[in-house]
Homo-oligomer: A and B are copies of this chain.
Amino acid sequence: MTFMLMKRDWRDKMHEIIYEADTKEGKLFDVALLWLILASVVLVMLGSVKTLDSKYHAVFNITEWAITILFTIEYICRIVCIKKPWSYIFSFYGLIDFFSTIPKYISLFFIGSSGALLAFRSLRLLRIFRILKLGTYVGESMKLKRALYASRTKILVFLFAIVILCTILGTVMFLVEDDAAGFTSIPRSIYWAVVTMTTVGYGDIAPQTVLGQFIASIVMILGYGIIAIPTGIVSSEITRQSLNKDDIKTVSCVNCSAENHSRNAIFCYKCGANLSS
């Protein structure tokens, strides 16, 4: 029984370190993990550069194995110290942990085609968000998320209109321009419409005829003006939130029931009654 208790204690301690950031050890673990993830992602990137890979292949391979083993240990620890292991394993972060660790082991068996597989390790980057959930920037990112969430229907309507518009404009340009300018099919013309509408403008496909350039000019001015819409939506939402939340008390005066008292008000601005009474 004492052994069971001890084990429980040990697992509780580990759970605190790995899953929470309140204790000193928990914070240290998070910071260490953060750097390990960043190091591992940088390694994946450098490994994809052919000239570097051919030179330092052995170094990359050994470091990657070391990191993979560390992540494997972390993965096992996470399963061991949690009460409901299965709910972790099939959670969003559980799946990311698994699929970003496994590729290196698979590469032992399939040597040839492992390149694409290894890029899966970039998924580790998503793990950073788990660590940051416990960080200090949560408040602000929550505000942003709330603003985006509040205006999600407006944004969806906007995106939908953009997609329809690009499809129609792409089809029109397919009819107007010929193959030489790069408008070889309707999907490719739609791709051009998106590139132009969003003001990216690669230039790999560009209208050559006068009529095509005229239509393209309209598309550009349209795209240039349309950007005002999402900006306006989000601006207005953030303005409203910050005006409501930051400056105005939710308490109304008990005497005259006036509202919209500024945050640091003690007395009602209308009748002079004490607000906290």
Contact = CB atoms under 8 A, between A and B. Distances in A.
B235 A242 contact: no
A197 to B, nearest CB: 8
Nearest to A158: B144
A270 B272 contact: no
Contact of A200 (B143, B160, B200): B200
Interface of A: 41, 44-46, 48-50, 116, 119, 122-123, 125-126, 128-129, 137, 139-141, 143-144, 147-148, 153-164, 167-168, 171, 174-175, 184-188, 190-191, 194-204, 206, 210, 213-214, 216-217, 220-221, 223-225, 227-244, 246-247, 258-274
Contact of A159 (B128, B171, B225, B263): B225
B270 A263 contact: no
Contacts of A238: 232-233, 235-236
Nearest to A271: B267
Contact of A186 (B44, B187, B262): B44
A contacts with B: majority SS: helix
A266 B270 contact: yes
A231 B233 CA distance: 10
Q: Top 7 nearest A-B pairs by Cβ distance?
A: A265-B269, A200-B201, A232-B234, A267-B272, A202-B203, A198-B224, A48-B186
B41 A167 contact: yes
Give the interface centre of A143, A168, A175, A216 by most chain B CB atoms within 10 Å.
A175
Given A116-B175, A235-B239, 19 more contacts: A163-B221, A188-B213, A196-B200, A199-B201, A200-B220, A202-B202, A203-B204, A204-B206, A231-B231, A231-B232, A232-B238, A236-B241, A239-B240, A261-B269, A262-B262, A262-B269, A266-B269, A267-B272, A268-B269
B168 A125 contact: yes
Given A48-B187, A49-B187, A171 B260 contact: no
Contacts of A171: 44, 119, 122
B244 A220 contact: no
A81 B94 CA distance: 56
Given A194-B217, A198-B199, A235 B240 contact: no
A157 B140 contact: yes
